[in-house]
Amino acid sequence: MIGTASSGLLRLTLARACAWGLLIAGWIGIGAFALQLAPTVASGFALLALWLLALGAAAAVNTRGGMRRWTRALALCIGGVTTGIALLATGRGGGLPALLLVLFGWAALTALASGVVRSLRLVQAAAPSPPIVAASLGALCAGLVLGDPGDLPALSTRLAAFVGAAALLLAFLQSGIEDRPRSPGCRAGLFDCSLPAWPAGAWRDPVQWPVLLASLAMLPMMAALPLMAAWCRGQSVAPHATVLLHLVAMFGPALLLRQSIARWSLRTLSMVCAILLVSGAAFVAWASTPFDLLGLVIAHGAAWGLAWSGQLWAPARRGQRNASPLTAAAGYAVLTLAFGLVVEQAGARGVAAAHIVLGLAAMAALLFSAASPSSRTAAAQRQALTTPPPSHDSVGR
């Protein structure tokens, strides 16, 4: 029995790592292709927004449960082959038509990975722990595969091999596991793990604002990372080093503090997130190149990682069960479009401005919450501290 339980937990961990690897590599990799192949910067961000929207739509379908294991295995294999061929074609002059096929194929693969994770989680005898280790492993694999996001032919080859291997591994891991048609739904599917799916009324509690703002930091960082890697290249910083530094900043602190962060109060988590957001804004505003962008990558990446990790332990800080991932995806697609317009007009200054706004907003929120604490905030803190860790039921969980 112990051996069976250990084997099931290992399969779940590997599936989580694959799902996170697909999510991270897809976000950065598709962004790299889109920003080089699209006619304008704004249209490149529009393609990335379309990928987010497709991912949310696919996740809304694939995380409902009830899919037969052989159906999902076949879909994973077809998706892996199709996406891999489209990636190779994109890197060899296929242009936007091939990239669109990559975009939709990768979205479907990531959503199918979410379904595999969900199936493996539901057969566990006890609720599994948060996916911090698995997500870190997936992010590390994605970072190594991405390498230099500016070299599209080499990038397409590496990513094609990656999606093929991930699809085959996921098909193998879910063998023998059937979905439960009427099992509980996910908390906003994919997006409760990597993008914030905030509970209703969260913005009415000033203490939560820095955590919510830190959750937002992932979007401009990931969307602009291919551009930032190119800018850092001009300052003699290797592009692959910039990508790896960003991913280490996102997951390293969360991994190292995973045992202690569950005991942090909401106020402590908010204060740490606010300090990191303000530090990143200060780096990008006053530090010399390339330390401005590198400092930003480290500080705001860590802010997102700690906010994500802290939210995993507290149901009061997360979205509602059965919320549609398509809703979260649509919101982030709109924000990506708006951010793309800013970057097209202002370039690196637009990226800096977005993060400075996050830092200033976090500082204002921290000062406001310190000056006017409410009884409702104290109640929210008590709930977060006394509620046992929940089950984890989306792609990274």
Task: Delineate the domains of the chain, giving CATH numbers in brackets.
Answer: 2-386 (1.20.1250.20)
The pLDDT of residue 191 is above 60: no
The mean predicted confidence, pLDDT, of the chain is 83
**What percentage of the chain has pLDDT greater than the value 90?**
52
**pLDDT value for 396:** 45
Give, as one character, the DSSP assignment of residue 208: G
The mean per-residue pLDDT over the stretch 184-209 comes to: 59
Assign residue 183 a region (left: φ > 0; alpha: ψ between -120 and 50; beta: otherwise). beta
Q: Considering only 110-119, 218-227, 316-325, 343-352, which range has the smallest mean pLDDT?
A: 316-325
CB 349 within 8 A of CB 223: no
Residue-level pLDDT at 374: 55
The DSSP annotation for 65-97 comes to: S---HHHHHHHHHHHHHHHHHHHHHIIIIIHHH
The pLDDT score that the predictor gives to residue 87 is 96
Question: What Å distances lie between residue 103 and 51, 82, 99, CA to CA?
Answer: 6, 11, 6
Ramachandran bin of 93, using left for φ above 0, alpha for ψ from -120 to 50, beta for the remaining angles: left
Tokens standing for residue 356: 């400075």
Of residues 29 and 67, which shows the higher confidence score?
A: 29
In whole angstroms, give the CA distance from residue 180 to residue 156.
Answer: 36
Stretch among 35-44, 316-325, 348-357 having the lowest mean pLDDT = 316-325
Does the pLDDT of residue 295 top 50, yes or no? yes
pLDDT for 360-371, tens place per residue? 999 998 888 777
> What is the distance between the alpha carbons of residues 133 and 256, in angstroms, rounded to a whole number?
10
CA distance 281 to 225: 16
pLDDT at position 326, please?
79
Quick one: pLDDT at residue 40? 95
Number of Cβ within 10 Å of residue 289's Cβ equals: 13
Give which of 301, 190, 306, 282 is closest to 243, Cα–Cα: 301
125 alpha carbon, distance to own chain's centre: 27
Q: What is the token pair recorded at 164?
A: 């093929």
- The predicted pLDDT at position 218 comes to 87
Please give the average per-residue pLDDT across 239-263, as a whole number: 92
- Residue of 339, 379, 367, 381 whose CA lies nearest to 210: 367
Backbone angles phi, psi at 365, to 5 degrees: -65, -40
Confidence tier at 200 by pLDDT (50, 70, 90): low
Residues 6+ apart with CB under 8 A from 111: 55, 58, 59, 61, 62, 63, 189, 190
Instruction: Look at residue 280 in the predicted model and tell me its pLDDT.
Output: 95
- 37-51, 180-194, 303-317: the lowest-pLDDT one: 180-194
What is the gyration radius of the CA atoms in the chain, in angstroms?
Answer: 20
